[in-house]
Copies of this chain bind each other. A is one copy, B any other.
Amino acid sequence: MIRVAIIGASGYTGAESIEILLRHGEAKLTYLSALPEECGKVGDMFGRFKGRCEMDVVPLDLNKLADLADVALCCLPHKVSMGFVPKMLDAGVKVVDFSADYRLKDVAVYEKFYGVKHTDTANLAKAAFGLPELFREKIKGANLVANPGCFPTGAILALAPLLKEGLIEPDVIVNAVTGASGAGKNPSAKFHFPNMNENLFGYGIGTHRHMPEMEQIATDVAGKPVTVLFQPHAGPFDCGILSTVYCKPKSKLLNEQLAKLYMDFYGKEPFVQVCAGSPSVKDVAGTNYCHVFAAIVKGAVVCFSAIDNLIKGASGQAVQNMNIIFGLDETMGLK
């Protein structure tokens, strides 16, 4: 039985990680930590855990963590995470990190987009990028996995077959709409119910930090530089991301070829389903699945993907990575 700690258990990705681990047959929660002012009983923080999880969330104590856990799901924010991850690794605890701190291999890009100096470049160099459908082998032996961002997960899974096979021009547009849980648990004017309900808007125009992350992975998959124009939007629903990706084929492609390409690429993947039309956010909400579809429109390829931003886009993928690290059935707790 793998012993799992959640660091930063008081936020939405922490809660979703607890939810998944309550149903995991070969891993169990042994330690939950958060900032001192956010500690207490899990059931008091999130009413849905009343009677289902009787654990206390406590301030982080690295010695206790090392005693109690084999692996930490680290749900700390960007910039904060890199202050703790090296200590956890040093204490002999494997880490799946949810922040962006170990995703961007190019330190200059990280420092530009996150506005701080990277303080743990040694571990950054060693971290595996935790998108199992593309980097499963590297995850297997890793002590540190950088869990991908929610938008990059959706966008790259929509595009990967085309990138991998070199079938498209290296210049893509990613239009995505996320549910409101993507903004986290802290109340704000934008996500105040009477403002967000019945609403839809774009944000992060030209500046969203998932743009360089998408470019890095897309480039990695394609084997040559790919440019990504990424435009996120927020919509009036709790969970899910629908990505609509526009790209140009290098030479004429038919819908049948696209269907075969995606089926060949994803046919054996446990968590990717190739659909016969646009995926729907509601079909993947509450699951670790990604639904994809691609079609030719006016000579372009339009690719769709739907994921749950908190599960395949965060906590579910983290458990999937954890399962791979420890050689468990990759789908444990997630089917």
Contacts and interface: CB of A to CB of B under 8 A. Distances in A.
B229 A175 contact: no
Contacts of A238: 193-194, 197-198
Interface string A6-38: 000000100000000011010000000000000
Contacts of A51: 270-271, 273, 289
B229 A300 contact: yes
A264 to B, nearest CB: 16
A302 B231 contact: yes
A187 B185 contact: no
A3 interface: no
A278 interface: yes
A210 interface: no
Interface string A177-195: 1011101011111011111
A198 B48 contact: no
A206 interface: yes
A47 to B, nearest CB: 3
A245 to B, nearest CB: 10
Interface string A217-243: 000000000010101010111111010
A83 interface: no
Contact of A185 (B179, B188, B192): B192
Contacts of A197: 180, 193, 197, 236-238
Contacts of A283: 46-48, 50
Contacts of A173: 173, 246, 300
A170 to B, nearest CB: 13
Nearest to A194: B181
A282 B199 contact: yes
A281 interface: yes
Nearest to A241: B200
A120 to B, nearest CB: 29
A296 interface: yes
A229 B302 contact: yes
Nearest to A236: B237
A263 to B, nearest CB: 13
A304 interface: yes
Given A191-B193, A192-B187, A237 B203 contact: no
Contact of A175 (B175, B185, B227): B175
Contact of A191 (B183, B194, B229): B194
Contacts of A23: 23, 335
A277 to B, nearest CB: 7
